[in-house]
Amino acid sequence: PVLVIDFGAQYAQLIARRVREAHVYSEVVPHTWTTEQILAKDPAAVILSGGPASVYADGAPAVDPDLFEAEVPVLGICYGFQAMAKALGGTVAQTGTREYGGTHVDIPDSGVLLTGSPAEQSVWMSHGDAVHEAPDGFRVLATSPGSPVAAFEDRDRRLFGMQWHPEVKHSPLGQHALENFLYRGAGLRPDWTPGNVIAEQVERIRAQVGDARVICGLSGGVDSAVAAALVQRAVGDQLTCVFVDHGLLRLGEPEQVERDFVAATGVNLKVVDARERFLDALAGVTDPEEKRKIIGREFIRVFEVAAREVVAESGAHGEEVRFLVQGTLYPDVVESGGGEGAANIKSHHNVGGLPDDLQFELVEPLRTLFKDEVRAVGLELGLPDAIVWRQPFPGPGLGIRVIGEVTAERLDVLRAADAIAREELTRAGLDRTVWQCPVVLLADVRSVGVQGDGRTYGHPVVLRPVTSEDAMTADWARVPYDVLSRISTRITNEVREINRVTLDVTSKPPGTIEWE
């Protein structure tokens, strides 16, 4: 892999993404790794990320000069560039000129790193210190008002560095420079593709699982679907997928899993109809956290029973299901401690909230992938667009979108309204612009309306369309008025119980995406 050494900036993951966009496999590792640990990974190249520290600050992370003797190509970026310069005997100092944001650099000598760059360009900088003198043997490629040495390289030793951030979109030629480093500087080939990812994972899964039985909880979401399809590709009938229909799904979702997913993969599917059980457990409950706990708990019980049934039905004597497939993604792994060691899964990343003490070994074929890469793998595996491009949907489903007690009738009303909103958003081509659009039923609120010649006394729904990068923050989506208007007209005409449609115009924070 290309190892991105994380010096504590928010940019390390982004750098890894950009390297992967260049079709070269990349991983993030912490700067606390020793040179020995780094070299043990047999890296094809190393990238030193930016970081918040000054190289002269107390306790500032340094780069071990031995790294540069290992004949591994290295690219230093921002802080990593300065730490590299310092480790190799260059000088780094405070200039008094801080450069933040768009900055002009002059490129008198493009070298290998900046091949194809114009002699002058705008780039994204964010630094206080600057490199004043390049180490011996380095050519200075670029300068800026605040950075006498803004980029350098020692082509023979395959060492490169730049002060600006090539990984951000505000450095228009940044990706080009990264690719120069990878292809020309380090001599790597762009051969990390979805097809290769699949081939590699299939081999790994086979090695891990042997001929044991495997189960996977399907949520209908993209991650569990792609993980299951990969495992199915690897071990075929040893896998059984369990899909729990808790009655809190949207219109057509159980059918979509049963029909489209099975058609695309040929997977063994066990559907458990647990609708009554969930409704009974939720009867009379209005508190959001209580609802979530009940739904999580019931899900586990149903899943465990189903897992035992899968074994019994398989006819295997005394055999047990040893492995559980989970759709854990790379950002979860990085956030929980750098990708080494035991899986540390946050509750909302578990399939439907499975507990840690579940007696299975985990199979996590997406552990190295970002969301968009998961989608690419899903498409390559032949999964339909409807699954691959599915918007996020919470595990507790419509149970947390009926505000008030959850009943079968209320779920039906919400399902009908939700289906209309989804249909119109899809028709308007907004599925990929809008991150998701919860429709929320205010089941205990009533308002007066007039329809035909009569008075109505119905319920409102709230449309909650949002845009987001990662659901951590969000903004309300500016859905065109005519689309909103069609949704409103159709819902009030077609769903008898609803006589008012409102729009939620709150960002996150302060509002969360879901109402409960």
- Return the number of the residue (174 or 438) whose C-beta is nearest ligand XMP: 438
Name every residue whose Cβ is closer than 8 Å to that of residue 137 and which is 6 or more positions away in sequence: 154, 156, 157
Count Cβ atoms within 10 A of the Cβ of residue 308 and give its class: 0-12 exposed, 13-18 middle, 19 or more buried: exposed
Q: How far is CA 276 from the centre of its chain?
A: 33
- Catalytic, 165? Answer yes
Q: Is 512 in the site for ligand XMP (CB under 6 A)?
A: yes
- Is 177 labelled as part of a ligand binding site? no
Taking CB under 6 A as the binding criterion, the range among 233-241, 408-416, 491-499, 507-515 that sits at the site for ligand XMP is 507-515
- Is 220 labelled as part of a ligand binding site? yes
- Is 26 labelled as part of a ligand binding site? no
- Is 501 labelled as part of a ligand binding site? no
According to CB under 6 A, which one of 104, 189, 346, 348 is a site residue for ligand XMP? 348
Shortest distance (Å) from residue 468 CB to ligand XMP: 8
Shortest distance (Å) from residue 109 CB to ligand XMP: 48
What phi and psi, each to the nearest 5 degrees, are found at residue 459? -110, 150
Interface of this chain with ligand XMP, residues 422 to 461, rule: CB under 6 A:
436
Are 80 and 50 contacting, i.e. CB atoms less than 8 angstroms apart? yes
- Return the number of the residue (272 or 471) whose C-beta is nearest ligand XMP: 471
Shortest distance (Å) from residue 217 CB to ligand XMP: 12
Please work out the total of residues on this chain that contact ligand XMP, with binding judged by CB under 6 A.
11
Q: Which of 99, 167, 424, 497 is catalytic?
A: 167
Query: 182: which DSSP letter?
Result: I
Shortest distance (Å) from residue 232 CB to ligand XMP: 22
Please provide the size of the chain in residues.
Answer: 516
- Catalytic, 78? Answer yes
- Is 219 labelled as part of a ligand binding site? yes
Are 501 and 460 contacting, i.e. CB atoms less than 8 angstroms apart? yes
Interface of this chain with ligand XMP, residues 11 to 70, rule: CB under 6 A:
none
3-state SS, residue 330: helix
Instruction: Spell out, one character per residue from 117 to 156, where the chain touches ligand XMP: x when CB under 6 A holds, - when not.
Output: ----------------------------------------
Q: Is 327 in the site for ligand XMP (CB under 6 A)?
A: no
- Return the number of the residue (395 or 458) whose C-beta is nearest ligand XMP: 395
According to CB under 6 A, which one of 304, 471, 475, 504 is a site residue for ligand XMP? 471
Shortest distance (Å) from residue 324 CB to ligand XMP: 17
Long-range CB contact pairs, 80-83, < 8 A, 24+: 80/5, 80/7, 80/47, 80/48, 80/49, 80/50, 80/51, 80/161, 81/48, 81/131, 81/151, 81/161, 81/162, 81/163, 82/55, 82/127, 82/129, 82/130, 82/131, 82/163, 83/7, 83/48, 83/55
- Return the number of the residue (159 or 440) whose C-beta is nearest ligand XMP: 440
Name every residue whose Cβ is closer than 8 Å to that of residue 187 and which is 6 or more positions away in sequence: 73
Q: Which of 78, 216, 241, 437 is catalytic?
A: 78
Are 30 and 338 contacting, i.e. CB atoms less than 8 angstroms apart? yes
Are 332 and 369 contacting, i.e. CB atoms less than 8 angstroms apart? no
- Return the number of the residue (428 or 471) whose C-beta is nearest ligand XMP: 471
- Catalytic, 167? Answer yes
Q: Is 293 in the site for ligand XMP (CB under 6 A)?
A: no
Calpha distance 151→80 (Å, rounded): 12
- Cα-Cα end-to-end distance for the chain: 42
Q: What is the CA radius of gyration of the chain?
A: 27
Interface of this chain with ligand XMP, residues 201 to 240, rule: CB under 6 A:
none
- Return the number of the residue (171 or 436) whose C-beta is nearest ligand XMP: 436
Interface of this chain with ligand XMP, residues 392 to 411, rule: CB under 6 A:
392, 394-396
- Is 128 labelled as part of a ligand binding site? no
Shortest distance (Å) from residue 396 CB to ligand XMP: 5
Partners of 28 in the β-ladder: 4
Calpha distance 413→459 (Å, rounded): 10
- Is 54 labelled as part of a ligand binding site? no
Partners of 130 in the β-ladder: 93
Q: Is 514 in the site for ligand XMP (CB under 6 A)?
A: yes
Shortest distance (Å) from residue 218 CB to ligand XMP: 13
Q: Which of 21, 27, 127, 165 is catalytic?
A: 165
Tokens matching residue 110? 């493009």
Tokens matching residue 488? 């409103």
Count Cβ atoms within 10 A of the Cβ of residue 244 and give its class: 0-12 exposed, 13-18 middle, 19 or more buried: buried
Catalytic residues: 78, 165, 167
Residue numbers in the known binding site for ATP are 219-225
Q: Where along the sequence are the contacts to ligand XMP (CB under 6 A)?
A: 348, 392, 394-396, 436, 471, 508, 512-514
